[in-house]
Chains A and B, each alone.
Chain A
Amino acid sequence: MFDIGSFRASTCQGIGRLSVLKWGASIPAGLMLGSPRVLHAAPAAKAKSVIFVWLWGAPSHIDTFDPKPKAPSQYRGPFATIATQQPGVHYSELLPRLAARSDRFSLIRSHVTSQPGHPDAGTVGLTGFEERPEPVQPNFGAIVGKHRGHQGSLPPFAMIGRGIPRDVVRKIDGYGGGKFGKGADPFMVSCADDGTVEIPSLQLLEGLTPNRISDRHEIRSRLDATLRQLDRAGMSEWDRTYQRAYGLIASPQSRAAFDLTQESQATRDSYGQTTFGQSCLLARRLVEAEVPYIQVNWSEYVECMTPNCDFGWDTHIYNFELLQDTHCPIFDRAFSALLDDLQSRGLLDSTLVVAMGEFGRSPRITNRAARDHWSRCYFSLWSGGGVQPGRVIGSSDKYAEDPLTTAITPKMVGTTICDLAGVDTQARAELKVLEGGTVIQELL
């Protein structure tokens, strides 16, 4: 299924595609093309594409990739450790597939961030800088996207997830273009567990459904009317997103990038029938379509414990049950499948894959027998795109409370991602981004 706003093109049922093609042919040429311009071809980029897996909510580092089996019980929790491909390196038993693939990625165990709360740390994690003083800095994806520019009708920076990550109070300010403006915001796409893809920016045309379209004139008049409404509302930035979306659906190649039904059942199965799994598969398809930067957000709610909030990995209660029953099995399967799939298609060397959250979780078990926020120590995973696999970089103390080695900051993460994606020191200076950032040399 491929749901385009109010349109649902069902390639598996063979009825919707014709409607979309007819409709696409009716779109004014200017709308189809969006704003295609390539600023830099990035020939020196080791990573043609970046997949940034954003584990929103902050996964527990001590229960996953930095276990401390010799710590007292009030720290270590109930999970045992399992061996990996690296002698002496152990993960939590909840991650058997990734433990078996640990030679395909490198692990950093010495991250620190400056903020203890979700939206603030989210901005730091996605931009390298705090939200204040303004302006908010751009997401790493917006930097790569601005440097690379549009590749045809496909966006340079796509975000797969159900809306902008947020907590109960507000969204992450650093989710998108920041000081670059809304035009550098990510192109939002969501993906359901059955592979249905939705593009929210096209939802404005309520009522414009294939069975209500009588002719091309009606389509054109509706589009024109909608654009006039947007102009009156001063939504020029949104207008650009809208144009990109229509440009995208006008291109068969672009549409195909979002169509998971073109995958074999075996491939879709390998990622798992979960929102996160199918989102990772969609990310791989966007890599094949040469989208420079794809951010995959951990699905909005996996456990549904907090209405109207993007709960993610925020396991203040029932941390151990949640990790065991849902979060770790889903992540272990989907991320392993992503690495396998990229490698089997010869894409891993040219695709940088990074997975991390905004911070870790308190090593000492809390009053609620779970784990709270912990900004002083957390982890990330890196694979492909010029990264040397199989390394464990940095280490934490005996309780996983603080790094024993040099602290690695989000700004270093962003600098390394951008550098590998071809946004070198000079380009970063020209864009006035990530000033003072250094590359994590141990990864290279």
Chain B
Amino acid sequence: MTKPARQSGPGGLRDGLVFPATKREFTSLLSMSVQHPRRKRDVCLFRRGSVPRLTHCSPFVLLVLSLHACLVQGAEPVRLTTDGHAKRDPVFSSPQETELLYVLLEKPNQLRLMKRSLVDATTVPLHPGETRSEFEPAVSRDGHFLAFVQSRGNLSLALVIVDLMNNRTYEVPPGGGFSGLRSPAFTPDHLRVLFSYPEEGRQQIYSVDVQGKDRKTLIDSQGVNNWPHFSREGSSFVFSSSRDDDFEIYGADAKGENARRLTTSPGQDIRPRFSPDGSRIAFTSNRDGNYEVYVMRSDGSDLVRITNHPEQDDYPIWTANGKQLVLLSERNGSFDFYRYEIP
């Protein structure tokens, strides 16, 4: 998978993406990659409008070329925002995917929900007059319900559920003292909302109905459980858990039973998202030293790294056709959303 381009011209560095102009330069880059494995950069084999010359390459180089070719197949990512401000939590606000809802750190004391039109590239606040921080939006698949986290006081976070069709708002208030609800996610039948909540020394996953009532426990284990996301057909959901030490991806059936571990890497595997057909899971992992986005099959097999950059890539969401991911990429210290083609 290639990186966002910032410059043009033969050879050079584009957002951490190295375009070798000569065989010598390419060999040098390979050497750098071998000698400094933590200085990660994609090597793009195909300069625009050209075909690489593979003559005079050693078998080792050809092998590396082949591996890199696997990484760089597909179109370049499309940059969806350009302001560079700290942002997060993207979600499509309607089934048509014409609008991206996300969270902007508008100023140091305000996280604000924003709407970004993917048709005309305009961005406006979802709740312009809101003075409380709002973040982690979730939208039901039919677009009828919106849920998000809202700050209510000193370390106090409520879950707000909005029935957009009937213009009604419900909430799950925070508990006493320092407490809060996070990471809302709708069930595919739009009848319930999952969320994460800490108490009794661990952090569990619960669900409530869309009126914020009928709370049920879905996941209760040691450690921290967070970032639930349901499959479209509704038989299971995925989440991250630190029950076995670091954060790993787990799956469970719709009632939270039969939890099974899907990843076993060192480092943190977080924010899993089922693909629309339920066959794959996108997630973020720092297993190679910094945060990258990966895709695997729903049983945890066939892992593919989607991004490869020294800066962070995070918060992946699938497009409805299951062929693209929208995610947040940090490039040159700035944060913007990009759309990546998925092999």
Contact = CB atoms under 8 A, between A and B. Distances in A.
Interface of A: 73-74, 77-80, 93, 96, 100, 162, 168, 192-194, 265-266, 268-275, 277, 299-307, 309, 311, 314, 316-318, 320-321, 324-325, 329, 333, 365-370
Given A277-B333, A333-B333, A73 B222 contact: yes
Contacts of A193: 85-86, 105
Interface of B: 38, 84-86, 88, 105, 107-111, 131-133, 135, 151, 153-157, 177-180, 182, 198-203, 222-224, 226, 242, 245-247, 266-268, 270, 286, 289-290, 312, 332-335
A316 B155 contact: yes
Interface of A is mostly: loop
B333 A306 contact: no
Contact of B286 (A93, A194, A370): A93
Interface of B is mostly: loop
Contacts of A317: 155, 157, 178-180, 198
Which 6 pairs between the two chains have the least Cβ-Cβ distance? A78-B242, A304-B133, A369-B198, A269-B332, A272-B333, A316-B178
Contacts of B242: 77-78, 320
A320 B224 contact: yes
Given A93-B267, A272-B333, A304-B111, 18 more contacts: A74-B201, A78-B246, A80-B246, A80-B266, A93-B286, A96-B289, A96-B290, A194-B85, A269-B334, A275-B108, A306-B154, A320-B242, A321-B226, A324-B270, A367-B200, A367-B201, A368-B178, A369-B224
A332 B273 CA distance: 27
Contacts of B110: 304
Contacts of B111: 303-304
Contacts of A162: 108-109
5 contacts: A78-B223, A270-B333, A302-B108, A304-B110, A324-B270
Contacts of A270: 333
A317 B335 CA distance: 25
Contacts of A329: 312
Contacts of A311: 155
B204 to A, nearest CB: 9
Contact of A368 (B109, B179, B270): B179
Contacts of A321: 182, 224, 226
Given A273-B86, A274-B86, A318 B133 contact: no
Contacts of B312: 329
